């Protein structure tokens, strides 16, 4: 759907925005107005954006003024973007999709005194932030946003199916051309699932590449912010802005020598798959079998990868005990929750960062404010945490950093096995179907059955999801490229070469 005869929102990319502004084909203000018109036209149906940023047009006008005056502009100048609700953005509550954390539905507001680092980086890049996007309560599910106080997000790619979660709203805003890119966040599938469900590109970065301070936490050990976009290059250009060290998140210090010179987009090439050795999905990684249709689509993708020059390695994890490491946490659908035991401490740090005027200041405040719908009660959304080995100890003293010995031992096992397998088979990356089968129904209650959540998140390795076709129903089929820590440049290059060589994605609207 095009809202202006002069701006085709469906064809927009970051490069096209740069070129259009530079040539005078349109202004940042006109582009923002077109995107806001798209929001007005489609958001009532898809429920992607829950808070609109009234300052968006002012930001756009300031970008136009700077351009006219010859002043320096950031790398995302004029690019319309959206931000996932749990990411702190000054002037807006971070509700985490929960009515008890939003005054408009009778709860308390978590109002940050300053932006999270990732939002601050988008502002510094001169992006135009259109608003904040919908999520399920506490970002707890990787399948949908049905329980959000704002109501469910609808999947623009196939409306009767789950949109993927928890970054459902960010993906829907990008898929419907309201924004060019959006900020998402993953603890257990929350970037890769919505990107795959809606036929988009998602980057789940290495833990420590992008700061997650100022984001309502599920796990400081697994949470990671990344972009969702319609094109690999756009996702890479957004990652250029997000990545890097900040003292607000000390673990990002590990990234200082891992970011490529010239940025992530600089290494993209249509020839990048030539000679690359790619490991394939099999029972050595996980025993779960693909559905017949998923297997057929994967077979086609393998043929395409070979035609583009890749060398495919069958089930490189065969003969290892890798598949035995994954455990489904009792009380969760298809999810390994280990690493989330630190949430009392992580929430303590998050609330402290909100500032001295915050409505909630401690874990005990948070528990009291949400007691009406206790998320930790048996059978509640986070009730499974009490089944995790280190949680009860962490809960005893929320202000004390928990040791998490079992989680760290598990992470070490995953990382060592991945390194051993990559070395033995001389692998450059892995390439799997992102889901075992097509999407469940929107309100079916069934979970998305992915192939990498848990392993990817506990190990902290990166993944890039991208379109690879469609099921007969019209539901998207996607691949995920996985690699060792800090291998984002290689994964993005492979994804770009596949994208350019196949051109599978179809516009959702």
Q: Which residues are catalytic?
A: 84, 166, 190
**CB-hemisphere CA count at 13 Å for 456?**
31
Measured distance CA(169)–CA(163) in Å, rounded: 8
Complete DSSP assignment for 459-476:
HT--EEEEEEEE-TTS-E
Judge whether 293 and 378 are in contact, CB under 8 Å.
no
* DSSP for 381-450, written as a single string: TTGGGGGSTTHHHHHH-TTSPP--HHHHHHHHHHHHHHHHHHHHHT-SEEEEESBSSPPPBTTS-PPP-B
Token digits of residue 17:
């925005």
For residue 202, list its beta bridge partners: 228, 465
Torsion 24-28-33-38 (CA) sign: positive
Residues with Cβ within 8 Å of residue 42, at least 6 apart in sequence: 1, 48, 176, 178, 509
- Helix/strand/coil percent split, the chain, to 5: 40, 15, 50
| Gap between the Cα atoms of 116 and 321, Å rounded | 39
Report, in angstroms and rounded to the nearest whole number, the Rg of the chain calculated over CA atoms: 21
Short-list 36, 84, 39, CA closest to 59: 36
């Amino acid at each position: 759907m095009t809202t202006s005869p002069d701006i085709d929102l469906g064809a927009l990319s970051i490069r096209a925005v740069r070129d259009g502004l530079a040539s005078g084909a349109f202004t940042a203000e006109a582009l923002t107005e077109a995107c806001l018109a798209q929001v007005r036209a489609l958001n009532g149906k898809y429920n992607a954006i829950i808070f609109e940023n009234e300052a968006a047009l002012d930001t756009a006008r300031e970008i136009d003024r700077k351009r006219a005056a010859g002043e320096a502009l950031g790398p995302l100048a004029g690019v319309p973007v959206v931000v996932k609700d749990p990411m702190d953005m000054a002037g807006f509550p971070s509700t985490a999709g929960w009515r008890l954390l939003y005054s408009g539905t009778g709860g308390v507001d978590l109002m940050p005194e300053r932006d999270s680092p990732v939002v601050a980086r988008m502002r510094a890049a001169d992006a135009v932030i259109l608003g904040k996007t919908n999520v399920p309560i506490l970002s707890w599910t990787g399948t949908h946003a049905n329980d959000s106080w704002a109501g469910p997000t609808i999947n623009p790619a196939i409306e009767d199916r789950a949109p993927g979660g928890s970054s459902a709203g960010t993906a829907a805003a990008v898929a419907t051309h309201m924004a060019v890119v959006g900020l998402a966040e993953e603890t257990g599938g929350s970037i890769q699932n919505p990107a795959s469900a809606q036929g988009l590109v998602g980057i789940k970065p290495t833990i420590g590449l992008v700061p997650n301070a100022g984001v309502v936490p599920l796990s400081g050990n697994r949470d990671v912010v990344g972009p969702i976009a319609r094109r690999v290059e756009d996702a890479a250009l957004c990652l250029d802005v997000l990545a890097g060290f900040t003292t607000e998140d000390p673990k990002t210090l590990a990234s200082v020598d891992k970011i490529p010179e010239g940025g992530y987009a600089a290494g993209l090439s249509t020839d990048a798959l030539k000679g690359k050795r790619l490991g394939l999905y099999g029972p050595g990684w996980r025993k779960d079998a693909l559905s017949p249709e998923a297997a057929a689509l994967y077979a086609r993708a393998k043929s395409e990868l070979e035609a583009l020059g890749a060398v495919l390695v069958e089930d490189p994890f065969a003969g290892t005990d890798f598949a035995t490491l994954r455990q489904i946490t009792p009380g969760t659908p298809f999810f390994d929750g280990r690493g989330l035991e630190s949430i009392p401490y992580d929430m303590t740090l998050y609330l402290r960062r909100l500032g001295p005027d915050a409505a909630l200041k401690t874990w005990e405040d948070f528990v009291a404010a949400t007691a009406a719908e206790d998320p930790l009660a048996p059978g509640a959304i986070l009730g499974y945490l009490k089944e995790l080995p280190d949680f009860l100890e962490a809960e005893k003293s929320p202000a004390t950093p928990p040791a998490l010995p079992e989680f760290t031992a598990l992470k070490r096992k995953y990382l060592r096995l991945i390194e051993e397998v990559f070395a033995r088979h001389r692998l450059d990356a892995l390439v799997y179907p992102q889901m075992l089968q097509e999407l469940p129904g929107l309100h079916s209650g069934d979970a998305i059955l992915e192939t990498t959540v848990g392993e990817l998140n506990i190990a902290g390795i990166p993944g890039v999801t991208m379109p690879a076709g469609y099921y007969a129903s019209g539901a998207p089929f996607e691949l995920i490229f996985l690699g060792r820590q800090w291998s984002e440049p290689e994964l993005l290059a492979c994804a770009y070469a596949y994208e350019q060589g196949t051109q599978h994605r179809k516009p959702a609207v």
